[in-house]
A and B are shown apart, each in its own frame.
Chain A
Amino acid sequence: MSKVVDARGLSCPQPVIITMDEIKKQISGEIIILVDTDTARENVGRAADSQGWQVKNIQNKDDGYQITIIKA
């Protein structure tokens, strides 16, 4: 079961901060992040990338996005 980080409605840079917190907790695996702005979508993707995680999938979900990031 992947961990879900709900960053919907949070302003900059909170989505990145809570994503990073989760990345630090998990050495590898899969994390799902929910965001509701395009800025947050881009920022989360960039942050994951900088930590060696890969954006596996971005889906539209409830007026926002569900971002899945993975690290093998």
Chain B
Amino acid sequence: MIQIKNIFGTRWGIISVGGLIGLLGVILQKLGNPGNMGICVACFERDIAGAIGLHRTAVVQYIRPEIIGFVLGSLIAAYIFKEFRPRTGSSPVVRFMLGVFAMIGALVFLGCPWRALLRLSAGDGNAIFGMGGLIAGIWIGTLFLKNGFNLGRTSKTHTSAGWLMPLTMLGLLILMVIFPQVKGEAENGILFYSLKGPGANHAPLVISLTAGLAIGFLAQRSRFCTMGAFRDLILFRQIHLFSGLLALLVFAFIGNLVAGQFHPGFAGQPVAHTMQIWNFGGMMLAGLAFVLAGGCPGRQLFLAGEGDGDAAIFVFGMIVGAAFSHNFALASSPKGVGPHGIAAVIIGLILCLFIGFTMRKNNT
């Protein structure tokens, strides 16, 4: 009999981790990150895609150290607590496509679930529609889960395979050191750096990386997941993960009030638009894709850090999806949805339904 006490796996554990993420979101914004974007997994992976030239939208190009920290922090926690388990093989190509369309949906709304919560906590009313869409997408996903949707089992793989995503992140960090940002220059070596727009707004590298590492470490311990929060509430009436999500919202709200970053309204919110049907639709697509893939974008990074190769594939899917979003004018901007954003959301929803209806497996 083994008794493993994981204090972060308790109710108070998940609440304190959620609260800390909310507060760090507010603080990172105060220290330079974009408006209501102290932390956004989707936006930050999109910025990374831009920084390495996968898309050339000049205003969103920066290797976000927070993302690197999330993966490496989770890796460190997984090793300390002997939870690093290299595994892969559960429909990787499906997970890649889900990652692509999750990102496309998130960039039509302009944010991942974490940012949706941070936007809400700062008074951005448009996020209400995004959150509504997210919940609707997750609810549709739970119907598939109830009907036996399953992407198949993973199997154990080489330790080195589990290291590929952490090594990729380490590589990005090394690139930032070799080719650092030069004031007034849009490029250094192979990296692109935004001179204006959200990509130009960032907290100092060391602070971003440290915050990322702390969050990665704690989120690995607590299994924090915003999609799981709603999914477990809908499927099992369980409030465990949901209490973490609520803590994020409440602490970010208090933090924003104190920091003077609370500005209620709909029009003119930072990096947001007011086309509510597509705020809803974009996040509905993202929410559905998250359920089918088994985690919100943050959770996928933490899983990738603890050796889950399928989560790593989802992350790569999201980065490629960000490139598609900007190269094919799918992503929204403060002016509204991109010229082809609506078509992409519809295609994504059809693809997710196709995946949900056709991929069932007997578990036993």
Chain A residues whose C-beta falls within 8 Å of the C-beta of B4 in the assembled complex: 38, 58
CA of A59 to CA of B4, assembled, Å: 11
Q: Are B154 and A11 in contact (CB under 8 A)?
A: yes
Report A-chain residues with C-beta under 8 Å of the C-beta of B152: 9
Query: Which residues does chain B contribute within 8 Å of A11, judged by CB atoms?
Result: 90, 151, 154, 294, 310
| A42, B81: Cα distance in complex, Å | 14
- In the complex, residue of chain B having the shortest beta-carbon distance to the beta carbon of A14: B150
In whole angstroms, what is the CA distance A36 to B87 when docked? 10
Interchain CB contact under 8 A, A58 and B363: no
Q: Is the CB of B155 within 8 A of A9?
A: yes
Minimum Cβ distance to chain A for residue B148 (Å): 9
Q: Knowing A9-B154, A11-B154 touch, does A17 contact B2 (C-beta < 8 A)? A: no
B295 at the interface (CB under 8 A from A): yes
Once the chains are docked, how many angstroms separate the CA of A57 from the CA of B1?
Answer: 6
Find the A residue at minimum CB distance from B231: A13
A residues 39-68 touching B (CB-CB < 8 Å): 39, 42-43, 46-47, 50, 57-60, 63
**CB < 8 Å: which of A8, A13, A17, A50 contacts B153?**
A8
Contact A13 B145 (CB under 8 A): yes
Chain B residues near A46 (CB, 8 Å)? Answer: 238, 240
Does A16 lie at the interface of the complex (its beta carbon under 8 Å from any beta carbon of B)?
yes
- What residues of chain A lie closer than 8 Å to B89, measured between beta carbons? 9
How many contacting A-B pairs (Cβ < 8 A)?
71
- The 8 Å CB contact of B238, one of A37, A47, A63, is A47
Min CB distance B19 to A, Å, is 20
B-contact 0/1 string along A7-36, CB 8 Å cutoff: 111111110111010000000000000001
Contact of B236 among A9, A38, A50, A60 (CB under 8 A): A50
Are B87's CB and A13's CB within 8 A? Answer: no
CA distance A46 to B17 in the complex (A): 19
User: In the complex, how many residues of chain B place their beta carbon closer than 8 angstroms to a beta carbon of chain A?
Assistant: 35
Partner of B156, one of A18, A60, A63: A63
List the B side residues contacting A42 at CB < 8 Å. Answer: 6, 9, 223
> Which chain B residues lie closer than 8 Å to A47 at the CB level?
236, 238
B90 contacts which of A9, A13, A38, A50 (Cβ < 8 Å)? Answer: A9
**B119 an interface residue at 8 Å Cβ cutoff?**
no
Q: Are A58 and B1 in contact (CB under 8 A)?
A: yes
Residues of B within 8 A of A63 (CB): 85, 156
What residue of chain B has the Cβ atom nearest to residue A50's Cβ?
A: B238
Contact residues in B for A37 (Cβ distance below 8 Å) = 83, 85
Known: A6-B364, A42-B9. A13 touches B235 (CB 8 A): yes
| Closest beta carbon of chain A to B160's beta carbon, Å | 17
Q: Contact: B6 with A10, CB < 8 Å?
A: no
B187: Cβ under 8 A from any A Cβ: no
CB-nearest residue of chain B to A43: B223
**Is B363 touching A14 in the complex (CB atoms < 8 A)?**
yes
Chain A proximity mask over B222-244: 1 for CB below 8 Å, otherwise 0: 01010010011001101010000
Residues of chain A with a CB closer than 8 A to B81's CB: 38
- A-B contacts, 28 of them at CB < 8 A, read A6-B364, A8-B153, A9-B87, A9-B90, A10-B154, A12-B225, A12-B228, A12-B295, A13-B145, A13-B228, A13-B235, A13-B236, A13-B294, A14-B150, A17-B145, A18-B364, A20-B236, A36-B85, A36-B156, A38-B81, A38-B83, A39-B223, A42-B223, A46-B238, A47-B236, A50-B236, A58-B1, A58-B2
Q: Sorted from nearest, which 5 A-B pairs have the closest CB atoms?
A: A9-B153, A11-B294, A9-B154, A12-B294, A38-B83
B-binding residues in A (CB < 8 A): 6-14, 16-18, 20, 36-39, 42-43, 46-47, 50, 57-60, 63
